[in-house]
Every structure is written in structure tokens, then in C-alpha cells.
Chain A
């Protein structure tokens, strides 16, 4: 039972363009959502988060959108840079503060 799904295992974009990473969830108890970035041989690095009471949160080039009715969130990166190439994980937190992760999307930004 995959409660958090990232349906695109990989995404390739050109430098300077927008990257859009998508995530769907099924559990209505999730109340906080996070995006993490992971490089090989490193642990996940926190990127940006959003509370379930909001529908948008922005931090520099990164914006997360939450659509609660559709149980969908997305991460927008504008403009994309080659250094953004990494695996991106969507995670959802329940009231017990345990995180459920998606399977990740490998983003490749081409120069």
C-alpha cells in the first residue's frame, strides 16, 4: 500500500527552464508535506515544506503547491540549474510526525 506516490521515476529538463515534480498521496491524515533532495552517498537534504492549511509555499527558486482536494502536491524549480540534478523525494507527515516517502524522481538538468 503505497500511500505516497511519485509516478515519474525520471525527469529531464534544459537549464533555465522550469522543472515540475509531482506527488500524490492517499492518506487524509497527512498534515505536513516536505520535499527532500538526495545526492548519491549522502542523506536526504531538506528542501522545502508546506503545511496542510496552505496551498503554496515559496523559497527562492523553489515553490511547492498543495491541492488537498486532489491529494496532490508539486515542486516547481525555476530556473533549473545543472546543480539541481539529484533524486527528489516527496514526504508526508502524519500527526505522529513519522514521514512516509515516495519512491523518488531523478531530475537531470542539461546544460
Chain B
């Protein structure tokens, strides 16, 4: 049990649509990160938020955006969905040390 919960667990969208994925992390964990895991690959860093501000971004286009809220919840928004966006999206939170604790992920399928 990591204390990180994600919703929904599965989602099906069509190309061009927009999607919002949600995450609730442990109380006191001020850093939240989002990762994309395509089939057969390791998770890829999308971006990171600390105290509601983005403080790091991976190699993803601007149509991937996020928000972090004071209640330790966060969102990942993806606009203009493409087929290649189909993946497992993982939220992770971090406390005082370097360890990241992951949720179970949202499996997104874009048709």
C-alpha cells in the first residue's frame, strides 16, 4: 500500500479528444510526478510538481499539462489525443527522501 491512488483505472477515448487523469497522494508528500509507460518500456518522466508549481518537465509536448492542489491531489490533462498516447499513466509522490511511491496507474486507450 503506497498511499497513492489514481482514477480512473481504465479509460477509452478517441483521437482528438481531451482527457483528465486524477491522483491523490499521501498527506505531507509535496512532490508529485507523472510518468507514461508504453507497452514493453520503462516509465518515462512527463513532469513534476512541487507545492503546486511545475518544477521539471520531460520530453513531452505542451498538450500534456498538469495541476497540483493544496490537498495533495493532482491532475494530468492531455489535449488532442493521439493514438500513440495509449499507455499506462503513473502518478508518484515523494516525501522527504528520494524514494517515489507509485499509484496503480490509469490505462488509457486511444482509438
| Residues on A facing B (Cβ under 8 Å) | 4, 32, 34, 36, 41-46, 49, 89, 91, 93, 96-104
Contact = CB atoms under 8 A, between A and B. Distances in A.
A43 B4 contact: yes
Nearest to A46: B99
Nearest to B105: A43
Contacts of B98: 32, 34, 49, 93, 97
B33 interface: yes
| Count class of interface residues, chain B | 20 to 34
Contacts of B55: 96
A91 B98 CA distance: 11
B42 A43 contact: no
Contact of B42 (A45, A49, A93, A101): A101
Nearest to A39: B104
Given A46-B99, A97-B94, A98-B58, A103 B40 contact: yes
B42 A89 contact: yes
Contacts, number: 62
A50 B48 CA distance: 22
Interface of B: 2, 4, 6, 31, 33, 35, 40-45, 48, 55-56, 58, 90, 92, 94, 98-105
Contact of B102 (A4, A32, A44, A98): A44
Nearest to A1: B59
A72 B98 CA distance: 19
Nearest to A90: B42
Nearest to A94: B56
B60 to A, nearest CB: 12
Given A43-B90, A93-B98, A99-B33, 12 more contacts: A36-B102, A43-B92, A45-B2, A45-B102, A46-B102, A49-B98, A97-B48, A100-B45, A102-B42, A103-B41, A104-B41, A104-B42
Given A43-B2, A43-B90, A99 B45 contact: yes
Nearest to A103: B42
